[in-house]
Structure 1
Amino acid sequence: MSLFGRSLADGDRLDVAGAVVRLKVHSRARRVSLRLDRTKREIVATAPSARRLPEAAAFARDRAEWIVERLAELPQSQSIAPGMTIDLFGRPCRLEAAAKAAHFHPAVGDEPARISARGEGATFANAVIRTIKREALRVFTERTAFHCAALGAKLPSVSVMDARARWGSCRPGLPGKPAAIRYSWRLALSPFEVADYVAAHECAHLLELNHGPRFWAHVKTLVGDEKPHRAWLRAEGARLHAFGR
């Protein structure tokens, strides 16, 4: 029996000082530790084995003040309302109230792009998000085709998702099942170069199902040095996930 009154298992979530703490078993871990998962907005308490999960849970309880401080540093949820301007693939896009169904209006001259949508509150916000998803799918379909052509790879199916654990995923083609790539629609809120890096990353997986030297060579051929883009996602990813929450 653990200090929390029950047996603990990998993946359990605990409440510590009002914060979510997720327990994780990692066989390569050398000690019990805590870290902040900025994307999921939760604390991860890692133990080298399931037997030491109670120790990890107790450690989290003892570090309650640290946990509260780290979570307080995360970006606040960003609501969606008419009149605000967001960045869409690195360019300003104004959100406007309208009497008609949601629509994306490309930039014209000195006027920025616009998303117009009807309704208020959650109705307006959901319509804006649906429009961003459509624009994200359009851009990622184009960039996937571009990178696949450069690599000589067959074009996979492309879709968007709202996963918190990853920015993209690639399923290689199998007999009777074509390859598929999925992208987080929230990448539409990042600079174009960052989103394009993720597209190149996933397309490179069509040729290399690993992160070895040949894989990174493909990525560098497509977008050059990937390190600044990866650093941007580490620094700003939590802000993207706070949008519309």
Structure 2
Amino acid sequence: MSQMFLTGDPPITLMLRRSARARRISLRISQLDGRVTLTLPKRVPEREALAFAREKETWIRKHLAARGEDVDVVLGAVLPVGGRMHEVAAGSGRKVRFEEGRVLVPGVAERTGPRLMGHLKAIARARLAEASDHYAAKLGRPYSALTLRDTRSRWGSCTSEGRLMYSWRLILAPPDVLDYVAAHEVAHLAEMNHAPEFWEQVQRIYGDYKAPRAWLRKQGGDLHRYRFDR
């Protein structure tokens, strides 16, 4: 995959991907990270892809603006934890601490983002393990392993071997959303599909899931705007 740039204010990075199956140039904007991808047939020159992007520039900028800008997690930044907004502030001692409306991160300012990310991952693992244990007990089926990743395409998954995977960014979402995703993936231990029987299992072990599911669809993409490694 290669890159090109659409000039303007600000410039837009275009990711070019060639596909043997593509019959024409297509354009996709990820609502998770704002990545703009152009898929090209094998023999279409890159200049045609750039011309195509220029024709769609107004549409591209409109969708990127609707998504919102990325947020660098540095001192003074504001981000959600458990669905509640917190200002990132300098802390003392060795541990990250939460107080009303603030999260206090000790250490050098340049390491604020990575240090806070490590702390949030630890909290996410504990919360997701607790939720998974709870729903697995209600389902009556154990899982075999639990891992965390920073996935862009899904919030969780369950393999046929009973391995659960979750996005650690769920710790940024409201608690009921995290719980719903845990129940959703645990329900796959009984039904490895999304047939009506699967949703019956989710309803049985979690309850009414419509609100947290809708939250993920409408607002979940915003959780990927927070950048901890800059």
Q: What TM-score, normalized to structure 1?
A: 0.74
Q: What's the Cα RMSD here?
A: 3.2
Residue 75 of structure 2 corresponds to residue 87 of structure 1: no
Specify which of 222, 225, 229 is matched with residue 242 of structure 1: 225
Residue 143 of structure 2 corresponds to residue 155 of structure 1: yes
CA contact (8 A) 1:92 1:112 kept: no
Which has the higher relative contact order, 1 or 2, with Cα contacts under 8 A spaced 6 or more apart?
Answer: 2
Classify 1:74/1:94 alpha carbon distance in 2 versus 1 (closer, same or farther; 3 Å). closer
Q: CA deviation at 1:83?
A: 5.4
1:65-117 Cα distance to aligned partner (Å, 9 max, x none):
32233223322122224455543223455544223223345xxxxx6386432
Residue 222 of structure 2 corresponds to residue 230 of structure 1: no
**Which amino acid letter does the alignment assign opposite residue 83 of structure 2?**
G
Stretch deviating more after TM superposition (152-161 or 138-147): 152-161
When the two structures are aligned, how many residues end up with a matched partner? 221
CA contact (8 A) 1:186 1:240 kept: yes
1:21-68 Cα distance to aligned partner (Å, 9 max, x none):
4548697x9986534211131234568xx5697799464453233223
Paired with 2:95 and 2:16, the residues of 1 have a C-alpha distance of 38
Specify which of 200, 205, 211 is matched with residue 183 of structure 2: 200
Specify which of 35, 38, 42 is matched with residue 42 of structure 1: 35
For the residue of structure 2 that corresponds to 1:15, the secondary structure is strand
Paired with 2:43 and 2:189, the residues of 1 have a C-alpha distance of 39
For the residue of structure 1 that corresponds to 2:227, the secondary structure is coil
Q: What TM-score, normalized to structure 2?
A: 0.78
- Report matched runs for 1:80-159 at 5 Å: 80-82=73-75, 86-91=79-84, 93=86, 95-105=88-98, 112=100, 115-159=103-147
Paired with 1:170 and 1:31, the residues of 2 have a C-alpha distance of 35
Q: CA deviation at 1:131?
A: 0.8
Which residue in 1 is equivalent to 2:173? 190
CA contact (8 A) 2:19 2:42 kept: no
- Stretches of structure 2 lacking an aligned partner (at least 5 in a row): 7-11
CA contact (8 A) 2:79 2:226 kept: no
Which residue in 1 is equivalent to 2:13? 19
